Amino acid sequence: MNHIHLEKKGLRGLAIAESFKQGDSFSRLAGVVIRRDFIIDGFVFGKCTIEGDDATDVILDMYSRLNRDDISYIIISGLVISMYNIIDIKKIWETTKIPTIGVTYEESGGIEDAIRHHFPNSYEKKLERYHNLGKRTEITLHTGYKLYLRNEGCLLEEAKKFLDLLTVQGSVPEPVRVAQLLAKVS
């Protein structure tokens, strides 16, 4: 297991978020490389299929296209994106060997019923992928807001400390907020 070296001011990570509009066939993904002191150091774009199964591979391609060896963590806003395009956080960790954290901002009750409804002929595969994501853990940030996370390649306590460092206000870590802004304009 790797560790996130919280003491390094120049620690760089990749934050990824998505954006799409109703009726789109693809969701736009934006990734921003940002230092722990909030200096932006690069960005990358991708797109994945609405209701597809390609989000994990798109994120791995985005990481690969950056061609950087100084990225120390990956934060992804949501692991079920683009109308049930499920991101395999474990595969990202196993491929990159970089600690990976998936964050969400609300409880997600009823997702299994929604998957069955949207994919009546093939929901078993999606449900299996969803269950393979593992347990979500609720944390409370120093801002007082709750965040739900799944982590691979780092300890939960380490992920919480790290998210506290990256969250200036509210519940959205600053690198994710910037990635969300980029995704909306891409």
Q: Domain residues of the chain, as ranges? A: 12-185
Tell me the whole-structure pTM to 2 decimals.
Answer: 0.90
Q: Whole-angstrom Cα distance, residue 161 to residue 171?
A: 14
Q: Are strands 71-77 and 146-152 parallel, antiparallel or unpaired?
A: unpaired
Q: What are the structure tokens assigned to 13, written together? A: 């990570």
Could you read off the pLDDT of 11-30 as tens digits, one per residue?
899 999 999 998 899 999 99
Terminal Cα-to-Cα distance of the chain (whole angstroms): 34
Q: What is the pLDDT of residue 6?
A: 58
Q: Across the beta sheet with 40-49, what order do the strands follow? A: 40-49, 26-35, 12-19, 71-77, 100-104, 146-152, 137-140
Q: What is the pLDDT of residue 1?
A: 60
Q: Whole-angstrom Cα distance, residue 43 to residue 33?
A: 6
Considering only the top CATH level, what class is 12-185? alpha beta
Q: What is the pLDDT of residue 111?
A: 73
Q: What are the structure tokens assigned to 20, written together? A: 């799409």
Q: What is the pLDDT of residue 106?
A: 84
Q: Which residues of the chain have pLDDT under 70?
A: 1-9, 109-110
